[in-house]
Every structure is written in C-alpha cells, then in structure tokens.
Chains A and B, each alone.
Chain A
Amino acid sequence: MGSITLNKVSKTFGEATVIPSIDLEIHDGEFVVFVGPSGCGKSTLLRLIAGLEDTSGGRILIDGKDVTGNAPAERGLAMVFQSYALYPHMSVRNNIAFPLKMAKLDKAAIDKKVEDAARVLNLTDYLERRPSQLSGGQRQRVAIGRAIVREPSAFLFDEPLSNLDAALRGTMRLEISELHNTLKTTMIYVTHDQVEAMTMADKIVVLNRGNIEQVGSPLDLYRTPRNLFVAGFIGSPRMNLIQGEIAKGHGAHTIGVRPEHIDLSTSAGAWRGTVGVAEHLGSDTFLHVTADGIGTLTARVGGDLPVRHGDQVYLTPQEGRIHRFDDKGMAIK
C-alpha cells in the first residue's frame, strides 16, 4: 500500500516561505510527477515527504498514518537521487544490500533479494564492481536497485535522469515506466522536464512558487489548462498567447492557441504574417511567423512544407481549440 496525503503542508527556511500551504492526495499505485520551473518548491516538497526536511506546518499521512514527525527510514519510502548518491567505497552488491543490512535481514535473504533485483535491472554481471567503474545509466540502475529491494510503499525520484545524456534519458524513461507497470507501486517523480512529465505520469502536479497550479492527467492539462501558467508550461513548443482586440473578439483578455492547432495557407486565412526562422525536425517543422498586428507566433506544420524565410503566409487557428483566459489569467469555461 502507498497512499500519501498532504494536509496543509508548509515549509519556510528562515524568512523565506518556500511552500505556503499544500493539500494533495496521492492514491496507491499512482505515478505522480511534480513538475515546475526551477525554484518552484518541487524538490522541497519531495524532501518533505521523504522526511529529509522537517515541515513547518501541516501533516503528512502515509496510508492514513501520520508520519509528520517520523524519521525518513520509518516512513517506508525509498528515494533515488539526482546524483545517484551511491556509496563509492562499496561494491554494487553491497550498495544494493545496504538498506537490507540496516534492516537486519539474514544473509541468505539479503543475497536472494539483491540477486533478484540485479536480474531485473541487468546488473548481474556488475555486482562485484565499484560505482566508479560503471556508466551513468548503470549507476542509475544501481540506485533504483537499492530502492527496489526495500519493497517500499512508494518510490521518490528526484530528477533522476538529468545527469544522463539525451539518448540514455529516453531509455531510462521507458525503463522506469516499465518498472512502474511491473511493481504497481506508488511513484513520485520530480522533474523540470515537461516531456518526462507528460510521458510518464498518471497524474501531473504543476507547481509554481510553492503553490499547486493544477493537478490532472497529462491530457487534462494539455486540453484544459486551468490558467495561463499551466497553459504556457505544458506543451512543446509553447502555446501562443494573444492579447488585445483579437482576444476581445473571443470574449477573453487573452487567448491561447497551441502551435499544432494552427492551420497554414499561402493564399488565405485569418492572420497574415511573414515567415522567420523555420526549425526543421524532419517529422514536423516549427515555423516562427511574425503576424501583422499580433507579434511572433509559432506554428507546427508538416515536415515537407515548401515555405522559406521571408515568405508570406496566412495562419488560421482551429476554432474549437482556442483557450480563453480572463484578466486574472484564469481559464474561462
């Protein structure tokens, strides 16, 4: 079991309030991603749940039990750190076995669990090596192995992939998702990378300045962002935001159109503009268009569109996919 409840949890460091007050419900078996810009308090929130930081107020419950005052090890959680935090003087085997030794399991049971975990993570051939003799991806797997053997009620990941190169990051993303499907254990994952958030999460928690902006499934956040912050943060390239007369015409202070919801034509359309930089990704092209009276808009179009720098084009937003926001930045239903 691994349901986690945050009840008015707050954290201040001296004068600085990092988290004013957060309520959050995480259900057993969910893959929850905390995402937000750097300094939004996502790592602090994870560390509060882990018990590595003391709360300044509020309560943390795991499976209904108040653990606010408990030491990290008493919470039954396991954590994977950004730097992997492996013990450099121990072999891979001893790294993975360490939490079991601390829990005073007998040697036979420890060996079995370590070898099982090593098999799952493809580390069997590396058990006698030191962390310094492993690649980044292997180190990350050792860190995950050390977390798995404890059979925790939830896993906490603190930006675990940000030290890896892009290709490896893609592979590890899949491996962690696969692991979640196999173990079905609650996972809380902190990242600033919205691609990781979108691809891995059952539920995304968008944080900004220590407050929750929105909680929902990846597609919920993509389709119905609750406010301008979420609208701008989720989706890549970013949503185009337009103010002024055009927005008023839609009965809003600001309207938002995602680049993939703009149709492009060379003959006619709603907004006329001039093509600036075109980013060719092969499958798609991101066109940066300076639209008359609006400013720069990004449109996501097919990979083989024959437009060039300086060409004149017409952009038309897809009517049903325009997001409307009021003057406080909240979505208009």
Chain B
Amino acid sequence: MARTVSRGSKIGWTIAAWVVALLIFFPILYAFITSLKTEPEAIAGFSLIPSGTFENYITVQTQRDYFKPFMNSVVLSIGSTILALLFAIPAAWSMAFSPTKRTKDILMWMLSTKMMPAVAVLIPIFILFRNFGLLDTHIGLTVMLTLINLPIVVWMLYTYFREIPGEILEAARMDGASLWKEIVYVLTPMAVPGIASTLLLNIILAWNEAFWTIQLTTTNAAPLTAFIASFSSPQGLFWAKLSAASTMAIAPILILGWFSQKQLVRGLTFGAVK
C-alpha cells in the first residue's frame, strides 16, 4: 500500500526542499551575478541586480588568458584519472577476486591516508617536488592528483568488482582466458558502468582539487583553481573579475556533470537495485 501524504504537508515539504536547494546553490548563483557587475558595484554591498556587463569576462581572457589554465585543468584531471585507473583496476581486481586475510586491512589503510590533513605533509612534499624539479610541472601535478584520489578510485572499483559473480570469471578461466584476457574481455566490459562513474567522479575531484594545485604550481602547470586564486593578489581583491573567473572555471565541470548525471547515479547505486 502506498503511503498517503496530505496535500498540505506535501506543499510544505516541497517548499522546504526548494529553499534548501536554493541556499546550497546560492553562492554559485551570486558568483555568476557578481561576475556581471562592475568592480565598484561588486564591493558596494548586497545586490541581486547587476548592471549586466560582460567586461569582466573579456578582461579575464585578455589580461590573464583563461585558455591556458583551462587546458591545464583538462590535462591534469584527465591525465591523473587515466593514471589512477591504470593502477586501480588491477589492484581492485586482485583484492576483489583473490582476497587474503589482510585485504580489508589494506583497504582501510588506503582509506586512512584520506583522513590525514593534507597540510601535514605539505612541507616534505614541497621539498621533494623542489629537489626533483617537479614544481609547476604537468607530470608532478598529475602524479600528485593521482596519488590523492587513488584510494577513492580503488575503493569504488573494489565495490563494483565485488558485485560481479565469481563463477563468470571461473567460466572464463575454464574457457582458456589468461589473466589479462579475463580482465580485458570479461571483467572490464561487465564493470563498465562502475568504471565510467569512477572515471567521471575522479575527473570532477581532480578538476576541483585546490590545495595541492595552488601550492605546487605558479604559472606553467597552474589549472583553473590556481587561476581563480590568483585574482586575490597583493594588488587588491577584484571581486567581479574573481567571480567571472570562478564562473568560467565551474562551467565546464557543471556541463560535464549535467550530461553524465544519469551515468553517475547509475554507477553510484550499482548493485543496490538489480
């Protein structure tokens, strides 16, 4: 029997949900509105009505070249995601299909690295990067982003792989598939929904990662996160331009997320509903 909900409470909850959603979305909306204001307007005080100038976008592009950090963001997020998957697929495979007594411990240890505050290792990593000449390089940042997100990628893939029945892999083994062919022809195609949502989530995480990208880059490898931060400079705080830069940084990932939300939800609830 379906539960009956009174009309009044239905309207009340709908309004409440919209209010919460708008509150969460408001900072993004306000950044967009501010980006359409002039600098004096932006610091003048709270106002939802901009003068509607696109000047900030033009300035951001002409003075600071949006395109370069944008490309850096693309290279770093896609590069680190592919690298992470290359390590994580075999790792998750072995933990899901030939677990040992210590598998759970290893998974917990991987996760525990995410519990550590990043600042705690800033100095040693900065020194290592400096000594190996990795500061402000694509390679250095790609490796760093891979390492940061690897535990989550392994965990997600491990969960998806666990959903695949072991008998199918045994059938492949009986059919003469080598370990590699088993992964390529049987496991991976079956895990595609899971791998795809892991890939999307990791791209989003890498795109938004701000701590390390800001600390370890200056200009050459700086992605959009560092680009935004650069607008709060010793010369002054340019709110309108900062907002324009933020909007341009958010837009690509927002569009990617919008088009892939079906896949993301399907992947994240994989196995919950069969």
Contact = CB atoms under 8 A, between A and B. Distances in A.
Contacts of B181: 102
Interface in A85-126: 85-89, 98-99, 102-103
B186 A87 contact: yes
Interface residues of A, number: 22
DSSP class of B's interface residues: helix, strand, loop or mixed? Answer: helix
30 contacts: A50-B174, A71-B173, A73-B173, A73-B174, A73-B175, A79-B171, A81-B170, A83-B165, A83-B167, A85-B165, A85-B167, A85-B168, A86-B168, A86-B171, A87-B168, A87-B186, A88-B168, A88-B190, A89-B189, A89-B192, A98-B172, A98-B175, A98-B177, A99-B174, A99-B175, A99-B176, A102-B175, A102-B176, A102-B181, A146-B175
A81 B171 contact: yes
Given A99-B176, A102-B176, A103-B176, A85 B190 contact: no
A102 B186 CA distance: 12
Interface of A: 50, 52, 71-73, 77-79, 81-83, 85-89, 98-99, 102-103, 146, 150
Contacts of A88: 168, 190
A28 to B, nearest CB: 20
Q: Which 9 A-B pairs have the closest CB atoms?
A: A73-B176, A102-B176, A99-B175, A85-B171, A85-B167, A89-B189, A81-B167, A85-B168, A79-B174
Contacts, number: 56
Nearest to B173: A72
B168 A72 contact: no
Interface of B: 165, 167-168, 170-177, 181, 185-186, 189-190, 192
A102 B167 CA distance: 18
B174 A72 contact: yes
A86 B174 CA distance: 12
Nearest to A82: B167
Contacts of A72: 170, 173-174
Contacts of B189: 89
A302 B167 CA distance: 45
Nearest to A14: B101
B191 to A, nearest CB: 10
A52 B176 contact: no
A136 to B, nearest CB: 16
A52 B168 CA distance: 12
Contacts of A87: 168, 171-172, 186, 190
Nearest to B192: A89
Contact of B170 (A85, A86, A103): A85
